[in-house]
Structure 1
Amino acid sequence: MKRIAVMNVGGDCPGLNSAIRALVRKSAIEDIEVLGVYDGFKGFLEDRVFVMTKEHVSGILERGGTILGSSKFDPTKNPDDFTKLKENFEKYQITAFVIMSGHTGTEIALKISDEGMPSIVIPATIDNDLPWTDFSIGFFTALETVTKTLDALHSTASAGHRVIVVEVGGDEAGWLATLGGLTGGADYILIPEIKFNPDKLIENIKKRYDEGKKFSIVVVQEKCPLSERLKLIQDQYPESSPSEIVSKYIKENIEGVECRNVNLGYMQRGGTPVSFDRLIATMFSTKAVEYVKKGKVNIALSLKGFDITDVPLTPDLLKNKEIDSRIYEIAKIFF
């Protein structure tokens, strides 16, 4: 009998439970055994492994997070850990790992494939920064969180005539910030891919005030690089995030403005997965089982339109997928 070991590696995201559920249910039909692994490769090395049945995944479709837990632990960094990984792979007679992850799990999958431990990577990250797939599990729920938060902030920003600077996640990519800012009505969006002109930001806010719109919502991606002028402020406040530096710059350059900061942080990782995340999670997992049955491994699954395809595990998968500039240009219409 073929045997899958399923785990979540890296940050958690909404939709993982939907993927686990589909994997177990489809595997039962195909007579493939599923081993659930707690806390990624850390749990695998610690023998925190169990045979998953339909009962384990009953009622988890709508739950956020993951019933298996997650970890960024990399078993390839320490020789003893790597030896233990190979021993457990043989002990549990694993046909293939199914790794639900972003770049973190993909990099590990690449390393262990050379040592005869095959895997299938299911793209799962709120950042949507994986170059081989249109979208990843978790992105659409995180996007909905950003959009709804900006909706809520509009009322208090307007009532108090405030500028609210909202820090949005995304790692090195501007997908969450751009799409969230666009659909949530942001008045300015700062992302890593687009060079930031601080003068334009100040002009935008002042213009809105002159037009009677005495509030603004500014979205700042968490790793947005700062201009030289803003780096001078950062030198004075080295512990401050880019969004906090942008807020300080606004207050220094617009007299009398009330400026507040909101960091969405882990809110973007939590919550009930939206329908599209549940859908693609189910599609990815059922396809993964089909590939295991065929003996096709050492691949990453990809969503292209409504088709699930696959790409071989190569170092190119570790690149960062930047925001489509056409989407940012649409967002700029509202700046």
Structure 2
Amino acid sequence: MKRIAIMNVGGDCPGLNSAIRALVRKSAIEDIDVLGVYDGFKGFIEDRVFVMTKEHVSGILERGGTILGSSKFDPTKKPEDLAKVKENFEKYQITAFIILSGHTGTEIAIKLSDEGMPSIIIPATIDNDLPWTEFSIGFFTALETITKTLDALHSTASAGHRVIVVEVGGDEAGWLATLGGLTGGADYILIPEIKFNPDKLIENIKKRYDEGKKFSIVVVQEKCKLSERLKIIQENIPEGTPSDIISKFIKENIKDVECRNVNLGYMQRGGTPVSFDRLIATMLSTKAIDYIKKGKVNIALGLKGFEISTTPFSQELLKNKDIDSRIYEMTKIFF
């Protein structure tokens, strides 16, 4: 009898419950035992493990978050934690871990595979920055949140003739900022992959005001790279986010402009998963069980169009997937 242990490692994202539901339902058909693990590897070494049945996943398809909780805890950092993982892996007679995660869980999975504990990675991160898959679970819901927020902000920005600087997530990649800004009608988009001239930003806003469009929406990715001029401002507000710094720069360089900040923060991780996140979560999870049945492990599953791909574990999985420069160039049509 094969047995899997399901866990969420790293940040949460919409669609995780859809994936868990599919894993449990498919495993029941294939006669594979399923253990649910609360709070990632932290829960695993603390024996917070239980047998999952179809009853546990009834009615969770549309729910955001994850019924299993999540944690960034890395059990490979301390020998005693790693030893406990090995002990419990044998105690619970686990065939393989099923890890829903981004880079955090992938790095842990690769290390554990070297210790004889195999796993399968299902890509789950709002950042969409994993190099082996076109899209990851959670990205489309986070993108929808950004788009709807920008839609809502347009009316208040226009009414008050304001500049609104919106900070979005994405870690080291500009996928959310670029696609969210494009679909939400942003007037300028700043991302880590593209070096920007702050003077161009000021020129863009002033030009819009001169043309009678007396408002602007500026989307700033949380880790966009700041120029030396902006770093000087950062020295005066060391706890300030990139959006804080850019907002202050705008105020200093455009007289009498009303500039406001909006940081979407954890809103991007929450909410009901959109249909496409539910779909790819189901596709990836059912395929994972097929591979467990075949004995194929130590792989990362990905989406290539509507086909599920497999990539063997290697350090290449830990690279960052930058935004497609062609997409960013397209956004400049609207700057």
TM-score by length of 2: 1.00
Shift of residue 136 of structure 1? 0.1
* Alignment deviations for residues 29-66 of structure 1 (CA, whole Å, 9 cap, x no partner): 00000100000000010110011000000000000000
Give the 3-state SS of the residue equivalent to 1:165 in structure 2: strand
Q: Which AA in structure 1 matches 2:41? A: F
**What residue is the counterpart of 2:27 in the other structure?**
27
Q: Which AA in structure 1 matches 2:114? A: D
2:104 equivalent to 1:86: no
2:215 equivalent to 1:215: yes
Q: Distance in 1 between matches of 2:26 and 2:242?
A: 45
Q: Distance in 2 between matches of 1:4 and 1:64?
A: 23
Q: Distance in 2 between matches of 1:70 and 1:53?
A: 20
* Alignment deviations for residues 207-259 of structure 1 (CA, whole Å, 9 cap, x no partner): 00000000000000000110011111111111111111000000000000000
Shift of residue 310 of structure 1? 0.4
Map residues 66-215 of structure 1 onto 2, 5 A cutoff. 66-215=66-215
Give the 3-state SS of the residue equivalent to 2:334 in structure 1: coil
2:323 equivalent to 1:323: yes
2:59 equivalent to 1:59: yes
Q: Which AA in structure 2 matches 1:250? A: I
Q: Which AA in structure 2 matches 1:15? A: G
Q: Which AA in structure 2 matches 1:10? A: G
Q: Distance in 1 between matches of 2:66 and 2:13?
A: 8
Give the 3-state SS of the residue equivalent to 2:171 in structure 1: coil
**What residue is the counterpart of 1:277 in the other structure?**
277
Unaligned runs of 5+ in 1: none
Aligned pair count reads 335
Q: Distance in 2 between matches of 1:191 and 1:243?
A: 12
Shift of residue 309 of structure 1? 1.1
Shift of residue 137 of structure 1? 0.1
Give the 3-state SS of the residue equivalent to 1:333 in structure 2: helix
Give the 3-state SS of the residue equivalent to 1:260 in structure 2: strand
Q: Distance in 2 between matches of 1:16 and 1:235?
A: 39
* Alignment deviations for residues 68-122 of structure 1 (CA, whole Å, 9 cap, x no partner): 0000000000110000000000000000000000000000000000111000000
Q: Distance in 1 between matches of 2:240 and 2:17?
A: 35
Shift of residue 311 of structure 1? 0.3
Q: Which AA in structure 2 matches 1:178? A: T
Q: Distance in 2 between matches of 1:66 and 1:331?
A: 34
Give the 3-state SS of the residue equivalent to 1:328 in structure 2: helix
Give the 3-state SS of the residue equivalent to 1:98 in structure 2: strand
Q: Distance in 2 between matches of 1:21 and 1:306?
A: 20
Q: Which AA in structure 2 matches 1:57? A: V
Shift of residue 196 of structure 1? 1.1
Q: Which AA in structure 2 matches 1:153? A: L
Q: Distance in 1 between matches of 2:38 and 2:142?
A: 24
Q: Distance in 2 between matches of 1:239 and 1:18?
A: 37
Unaligned runs of 5+ in 2: none
* Alignment deviations for residues 135-156 of structure 1 (CA, whole Å, 9 cap, x no partner): 0000000000000000000000
Q: Distance in 2 between matches of 1:247 and 1:10?
A: 30
Q: Distance in 2 between matches of 1:235 and 1:70?
A: 35
Q: Distance in 2 between matches of 1:237 and 1:31?
A: 58
**What residue is the counterpart of 1:42 in the other structure?**
42
* Superposed CA RMSD: 0.4
The alignment-based identity, stated in percent, is 87
2:12 equivalent to 1:12: yes
Q: Distance in 1 between matches of 2:231 and 2:309?
A: 43
Give the 3-state SS of the residue equivalent to 1:232 in structure 2: helix
**What residue is the counterpart of 1:243 in the other structure?**
243
